[in-house]
Amino acid sequence: MTNKTALVTGGSGGIGGAICRKLAETGYYVAVNYYSSKAEAEALAAEIGGIAIHADVTIPNEVDDMFAKIGEPDVLVNNAGIALYELFQLTAPEQRRSVIDVNLHGAMNCSAAALPAMICRKCGSIVNISSVWGEYGAAMEVVYSASKAALIGFTKSLAKEVAPSGIRVNAVSPGLIDTKMNARFSAEDIAALGGCGTPEDVAATVAWLVSDASGFVNGAVIPVNGGNF
């Protein structure tokens, strides 16, 4: 058991839920952040002996209130994210802004709130959930891909900035994972992409990244994609 606290944003979702379970299994007290899925977050928190906590990660005041309630997490997993599947020229400015807000600014807001205590303690681990589309780009998901590419840039740069303070910042880059985010894809689409991974595949990698076993891994982007991309 670690006696440490982990905050997982979007813990109410498919991948976030698996990360919460895995971190709880390895001894973390887990704060399950949610935005709209209160019942799911509360049920999960009850199951793993953690706490469910609401915050819209795009709103700095809500993020600060969340940190005030849970204290100073040793681990932050920036997992909250939204997709946007549309031809780029048909996307509206508000839609584009909202994807960048959740997927990039959300991670930045939470990291900014987590870092002061981590820097004081000279330890801490941040894991950002990016995407293969952030590495390679995807038609019909241009804005999403841009947000996830920016998250990779954020990961690598922040890692350089805070490594001297003993803090690690890494990213996981999942391929297609079986969650409600991909409900729009047919079985044929999924087969054409080489099949789906599971939220547990991503969670296992996150658990490794926050463990001492990966102590010299910093600024890395770890693919979890079955070799399909």
Q: Which of 139, 180, 184, 216 binds ligand NAP (CB under 6 A)?
A: 180
Task: Tell me which of 70, 169, 174, 218 binds ligand NAP, using CB under 6 A.
Answer: 174
- Dist. CA 30–CA 24, nearest whole Å: 6
State the alpha helices, DSSP H only, in 101-141.
Answer: 106-121, 132-136
Q: Which of 44, 102, 203, 206 binds ligand NAP (CB under 6 A)?
A: 102
Taking CB under 6 A as the rule, does residue 36 contact ligand NAP? yes
| Per-residue DSSP letter, 105 | I
Tokens 């899925």: give the residue. 37
Of the candidates 17, 12, 121, the residue with the CA atom closest to the CA atom of residue 74: 121
Tell me: does residue 29 bind ligand NAP (CB under 6 A): no
- Which range, of 13-21, 87-95, 117-125, 186-194, touches ligand NAP by CB under 6 A? 13-21
Q: What would the two tokens of residue 68 be?
A: 């005030």
- Between 10 and 73, whose beta carbon lies closer to ligand NAP? 10
Q: Read out DSSP for 40-54?
A: HHHHHHHHHT-EEEE
Stretch that binds ligand NAP, among 50-58, 69-77, 158-166, 207-215 (CB under 6 A): 50-58
Sequence-separated (6 or more) residues with CB below 8 Å from residue 71? 5
Any catalytic annotation for residue 34? Answer: no
Q: In the chain, where do the E strands start and end? A: 5-8, 29-34, 51-54, 75-78, 124-129, 167-174, 221-224
CB of 83 to ligand NAP, least distance (A): 6
99 in contact with ligand NAP (CB under 6 A): no
Which chain residues interact with ligand NAP by CB under 6 A? Answer: 9-10, 12-16, 33-37, 56-58, 79-82, 102, 106, 129, 131, 174, 176-177, 179-182
Q: Which residues are catalytic?
A: 144
